[in-house]
Amino acid sequence: MSNSLSGTQFKEASLGRRLWALFLDSSASWLLALFLEPHDMSKRLILQMGILFIEISVLTSLRGASFGQSAARLKVIDVNDGSALPIPRLLLRTLMIVLVLPAIFRSGGRSVHDIVARSVVVRFYKKVS
């Protein structure tokens, strides 16, 4: 999908770029959880999932992208009009990501969490004058 909203060129993000962003988010949350809970691996896993949920939710609501998505030049938008996702849909999408549902993809490359949240992850390129 190639399109233009508000003067910004974008196309739907590739699977590789999306996985890279998720790897960056997961790694950052793992490192922070390791720092906070260096001894108990089961507590660290729960802590990591909480950190990942908060990081993705807060940054996506504020900037339209998580830490990893920003590094990969990606953004999460409403599939219908390109606007920011409402908080309830954003939280549902993030919960599904943390529960490892991004690994389930449907036709067209969109993942289940994006279909349920009616969102799409796009790669932003440049401003159009």
CA-angle at 78, arms to 76 and 82, nearest 5°: 90
Residue 129 has a pLDDT of: 46
Band of the pLDDT at 105, cuts 50, 70, 90? low
Nearest to residue 124, comparing CAs of 11, 7, 5? 11
Q: Average of pLDDT values for 90-96?
A: 94
Residue 56 near residue 17, CB atoms below 8 Å: no
Residue 50 has a pLDDT of: 97
Q: Does the predicted model carry a pTM greater than 0.85?
A: no
| Better pLDDT: 110 or 108 | 110
